[in-house]
Amino acid sequence: MASQASPKRHGLSAKTLRELERASGRLAKASVTAMEEQLSWFGRLPADQRASVLMITQTGAAGFVSWLQDSQEALKLTTEAFRTAPRELSRWISLRQTVGLVRLAIEVFEEQLPEFAADESERAALTEGILRYGREVAFAAANSYAAAAEARGAWDARLEALVVDGIVRGDAEESVASRAAALGWDPAAPATVLVGNPPSDDPPTVVFEVRSRAARAGRPVLLSVQGSRLVVVVAGPTDGTGKERTILSTLSTAFAEGPVVAGPTMPDLAGAHHSAVEALSGLRAVVGWPAAPRPTRSADLLPERALAGDAEAERQLIDEIARPLEEAGPALLQTIETYLESGGVLEACAKLLFVHPNTVRYRLRKAAELTGRNASDPRDALVLRIALTVGRLARSRGLW
C-alpha cells in the first residue's frame, strides 16, 4: 500500500521504474548489438574489450533507473558507469569513439523506452530523462578520460626523468632504450645532449618552453630538470645542413640566461651517455671562456676542460693535435711552436727558423689541415698551445 501511495519520480510510477530496472540488462545488450552493427571499428576490438563495453553499458543502464529515483546523486551514479573505462579501454578506444558509443546507446534507449511508459506524460518524461542522463554520462566519460590522461602524463614525465637520469649516469643501454621506446623515442635516432640552467623553478613551465621550441623544429626531445641544471636530449642530426645546425641554437633559447653546452652528436641513444658526459664537463669548464658562444660545443671547450682536470679532454687534445703534429715531423712541430712563441708574427717566426716566410705559410697551412686549427686565429692558437703543453706533460709522465 505504501508503494502505491508513493509520489512519482520524474513523472514515472513505481511500476514503470521496476519494469525499467528489470529490463536494464536487455537494454544494454540491445545497445551493444547496435554498436556491433553500425560501428565497423567496434567489431575489431578484442573480445575482452567488447565485454568491458557491455559491462559498462549495463552499469549505465542500471544507473539510469537509480538516477530517475534520485537525481541528486546523478554525478556519483553516472561516474560509476565509467569508473573502470579509462583503465581498461582508453588504450583501445579514444574519447571521441566513447562519446559515439554513448550517443548510439542513447538512441537505442530512446527507441525502446516508450514501451515502458503507461501514458503520454510518462513517455515524455522518459524521453527527457534519457537525454539528460546521456549528457551526464558523456560528461562523466570526458572527466574519466581527462583524469586518465593526466595520470598517464604524470607517469610519462616520471619515466622521462628516469630515462634522462639513466643517460647521464650511464645506466645499462637496454634499460634506457626500452624506457625511451615506451615514450615513443626511436633508439636508433642520433642523439645530442644539451645542458644549461632551467628557465623557471616551475617544471611545467620548463617543459612547455622546451617542447614548444622542439615542436616548431620538428624534433623529439627528452628533458629533465636535475637540481639547478636542465638536461635536454634532442633526436636527429645537428651537424649537416644549415637547418640541422640551427636546431641547437633554437633549443638553447628555452634555457635561462647563462651558458648552454652541447655534447657531440652520437649515432644512437646508446651513445647518448658519452654526449652527456662531455656536455656536463663543458658546462663546468665554460666559465674559463667568457666569450664562448651560446650554445657551445663541448669539443670547442677542450682547453678549459683540460685545465679543469678532464682526462678525456686531455686525451682528445693529444690525439687530435699534439700527436698528428709530432708524427708530421720535427720541422712542422717546431714551426708551430716558434710561431706561437713569436706572438703570431710571420716574419719573426721565419727569422728564428732561418727560412723564407712562404715556407712558414706552407707549414701553417699543413698544420691546419692536420688539426683543423688555424694558428693565426687567436682562439685556435690557444687550443694549439694548450694541446702541445698537455702533450709534453703526458709524455713526461710516461702516458704517451
Higher pLDDT, 44 or 344: 344
Give the 3-state DSSP-derived string for 20-44, with helices as H, strands as E and coil as C.
HHHCHHHHHHHHHHHHHHHCHHHHC
Q: Are 259 and 279 in contact (CB under 8 A)?
A: no
Backbone φ and ψ of 82, nearest 5°: -115, 20
Q: H or E stretch including 232?
A: strand 229-235
Distance CA 372, CA 349 (A): 21
**pLDDT-based confidence at residue 282 (cuts at 50, 70, 90):** very high
Helices (H), 218-260: 242-252
Q: Are 95 and 71 in contact (CB under 8 A)?
A: no
Give the N- to C-terminal CA distance of the chain in Å, as an integer: 105
Query: For 85-138, what is each residue's pLDDT tens digit?
Result: 545 555 567 767 777 887 888 888 888 888 888 888 888 888 888 888 877 777
Residue 372 backbone zone (phi > 0: left; psi -120 to 50: alpha; other: beta)? left
* Of 70, 150, 137, the residue nearest 106 (C-alpha): 137
Distance CA 267, CA 282 (A): 20
What is the DSSP code (8-state) at residue 9?
B
Q: Are 221 and 232 in contact (CB under 8 A)?
A: yes
168, with CB counted inside 10 A (0-12, 13-18, 19+), is: buried
pLDDT at 48 over 80: no
* Of 302, 306, 313, the residue nearest 379 (C-alpha): 302
Quickly list DSSP for 340-394. Answer: HHTTT-HHHHHHHHTS-HHHHHHHHHHHHHHHS--TTSHHHHHHHHHHHHHHHHH
Domains of the chain: residue spans and CATH: 2-151 (1.10.490), 175-307 (3.30.70.2730), 313-396 (1.10.10.2840)
pTM of the model: 0.64
| pLDDT of 78 | 52
Q: Are 224 and 231 in contact (CB under 8 A)?
A: yes
The least confident of 137-141, 340-344, 371-375 is 137-141
| pLDDT of 278 | 96
Degrees to nearest 5, angle at CA 42 with 40 and 43: 75
| pLDDT of 373 | 95
Higher pLDDT, 365 or 208: 365
| pLDDT of 6 | 41
**pLDDT-based confidence at residue 69 (cuts at 50, 70, 90):** confident
Report, as an integer, the average pLDDT of 258-273: 95
Q: H or E stretch including 195?
A: strand 191-196
For 195, the grid coordinates are 645542458
Number of H helices, E strands in the chain: 20, 5
